[in-house]
Amino acid sequence: MARAFSRNLWRQLVALVVAAGLWFLFGGQKVVERAIRVPLEYTNLPSGIEMTGDVPTVVDIRVRGSEAALTRIVPGELVAVVDLAAAKAGPRLFHVTGNDVRTPSGVTVVQVSPSNVGVSFEPSAIRRVTISPVLAGTPAYGFEVGTITASPPAVEVLGPAGALKDLQAVITEPISVAGASASVHDTVTVGVPDRTIRLRAPQRVEVDVEIRPAPVERIVAGVAVEVRGGRRAAPFISTVTVTIKGRVEALRELQSSALHAFVDVSRARPGQALLTVGVDVPAGIEVVRVDPEQLPVQVR
């Protein structure tokens, strides 16, 4: 009997020591409250509908616990969870209470603000839309972008029916044509500009960008003006400035002597006449403008 009494006494002393230790560890800490902004997480979205519009992403909560417990909280440890199992098409309200917030041990939620969140829903839809490749930069001087071809030319996207109705095309990551003088081929990732819409499956496409010679302009000053028409005449101004257009190689090799400016006096009456200046140019060259366009001419 004495031994039994001794064992019970020993157990009571151990329990007392443990209780005293716990009191020293936790009993002396203050219980405090703190305001924290936490992310919203949505679960159980029914199939066949989509969240639309400006979906709330955070709520403010007040939590209570010991200073040590609140200090140990790390970002992402507190999350408010909204159950969308009852969601239907149209605008809906969902309550958010302390029971909907995931918290670590020793932390209690005493308030959630706002206490409900509004979310709108639309029926889901699938649509096939064309791919519009995005280009970055400009080709080399004397070249331009021609035909752009994507393979495949279209992809399937899904999302809210209203957003899909207005979607014209999906885009690609930028394809550089900076300084290009030959056609460009690249394989790039497809993306959707509207965040509420997504690709039905991740997609990469092959894009061919035609880079072709482009007409450029050149200004040629001091082009002599000759008189045509079989009559004696003299222009008051003997030279003009001619702006021509053509491929860069053709313009680079062109001599100014290959341009022939003239005025035709065959139908002009004797005296002073204001005649339009014409210019003969080699094949493949186009006259953009002549300065001046008309010249006063003294016809005899």
Q: What is the CATH number of the domain that holds 129?
A: 2.170.120.40
83, burial (CB in 10 Å: exposed 0-12, middle 13-18, buried 19+): middle
Q: Which pLDDT band holds residue 4 (cuts at 50, 70, 90)?
A: low
Query: Do the domain assignments include residue 72?
Result: yes
The chain-wide mean pLDDT, for the chain, equals 89
Residue where a domain stops, chosen among 93, 114, 135: 114
- pLDDT surpasses 50 at 296: yes
- pLDDT surpasses 50 at 99: yes
∠ CA 43-44-47, rounded to 5°: 130
Q: What is the reported pLDDT for 24? A: 45
Number of domains in the chain: 3
Q: What is the reported pLDDT for 9? A: 60
Among 15-19, 74-78, 223-227, 249-253, name the one with the lowest average pLDDT: 15-19
Q: CATH number for the domain including 281? A: 2.170.120.30
Phi, psi of 74, deg, nearest 5? -110, 155
Who has greater pLDDT, 122 or 231?
122
How far apart (Å, rounded) are the C-alpha atoms in residues 230 and 232?
7
State which residues form the domain around 282.
215-299
Q: Are residues 133 and 151 in the same domain?
A: yes
Q: Are residues 209 and 219 in the same domain?
A: no
Reference 179, options 136, 133, 132, 134; nearest CA is 136
Q: Are residues 222 and 189 in the same domain?
A: no
Average pLDDT of 50-62? 94
CB contact at 8 A, 133 and 148: yes
Q: Are residues 140 and 74 in the same domain?
A: no
Q: What is the reported pLDDT for 234? A: 87
Cα–Cα distances in angstroms (integers) from residue 4 to residues 1, 7, 10, 16, 155, in the given order: 5, 5, 10, 18, 82
How far apart (Å, rounded) are the C-alpha atoms in residues 70 and 55?
29
Query: Do the domain assignments include residue 19?
Result: no
Q: Are residues 76 and 134 in the same domain?
A: no
Q: Are residues 279 and 261 in the same domain?
A: yes
Q: What is the reported pLDDT for 295? A: 94
Q: Are residues 220 and 294 in the same domain?
A: yes
∠ CA 109-115-37, rounded to 5°: 55
Q: Are residues 63 and 131 in the same domain?
A: no
- pLDDT surpasses 80 at 210: yes
Query: Do the domain assignments include residue 20?
Result: no
CB atoms closer than 10 angstroms to residue 228: 13
Cα–Cα distances in angstroms (integers) from residue 135 to residues 110, 167, 168, 194, 248, in the given order: 53, 20, 18, 19, 23
Who has greater pLDDT, 4 or 194?
194
Among 17-21, 135-139, 215-219, 238-242, name the one with the lowest average pLDDT: 17-21
Per-residue pLDDT of 262-275, as tens digits, reads 999 998 889 999 99
- pLDDT surpasses 50 at 14: yes
